[in-house]
Structure 1
Amino acid sequence: MNPPLRLARPGEAPAIRAMVRAAYAHYVPLIGIEPLPMVDDYAARIAAGQAWVLEQDGQMAGLLVLEDTPEGLLLDNIAVAEAARGQGHGRAMIAFAEAEARRRGQPCLWLYTNEKMTENIALYTRLGFVELRREEKSGRHAVIMEKRL
């Protein structure tokens, strides 16, 4: 059983940023640029009620950033702390995001990932997401995927 998620609290932005930077650091050599979650404004995400934190044993184990859009609920970022990997937290957070999209009356959950992050594309496909298109996003090559709900 995975711990529940909660909205991130004011003041947690530095810890969130550090966890996300560590979680995404191994992608920098692969894609040649920092992934967008590494440069996001987490204080603004918290203030907008878009950042969700997963805690395990009093430690931040994961982060989920959800944003309402006209197309559906955007899963803008999902990150798992290194010490918490391999415990099913990523899948649990995606299930939470799907439930949140349904609760909000959104028709789908959608996301984008870098085209070189092939393991992410494979995971999202296994979880029922389908590729819609590929596009350039802030100098990065994104794969846009969605899961109809």
Structure 2
Amino acid sequence: MDLMEPIDAEVVFQFETFIKVYKSGKVERLIGTDIVPPTSYSVNNVASKDVTISPEKPVSARLYLSTNIKKDEKLPLLIYFHGGAFCLCSPFCALYHNYLTSLVSKANVVALSVDYRLAPEYLLPAAYEDSWDAHAMVLNLG
């Protein structure tokens, strides 16, 4: 390594075209980083909102609500955990946001998509603990 080369330039681990870990500890995700905002307006009769599950860890989620429900109508709740092998993506990336908007519209459910902590910054069982925190939050809201 050239002495003038920044420390972030040295890759110590690379997983195909998905993730790079640098000597400095910096993690670069190569997919699933296209973040989209929640929709306060109705898209496919669904609005979404970001909520905090645990500010200490930090763990958050995106809540998807149908805008086509009747007053006092109760809907089933789907708690959703995105794919990505516990190291990629989030509920805020376009892929999962669009999928859940469509799912909530068609299935007539409320969905909570959990943004669990990702490896390698947070090793397992951190993601499992975050899923339990999401379940506990839902149960406490009753």
TM-score in terms of structure 1 length: 0.31
Structure showing greater relative contact order (alpha-carbon pairs closer than 8 Å, 6 or more residues apart): 2
Q: Of Structure 1 and Structure 2, which has the larger fraction of its residues in strand?
A: 1
Q: Could you tell me the TM-score, scaled by structure 2's length?
A: 0.32
Task: Identify the structure with the greater helix proportion.
Answer: 1
Structure 1 or 2, whichever has the larger Rg, is 2
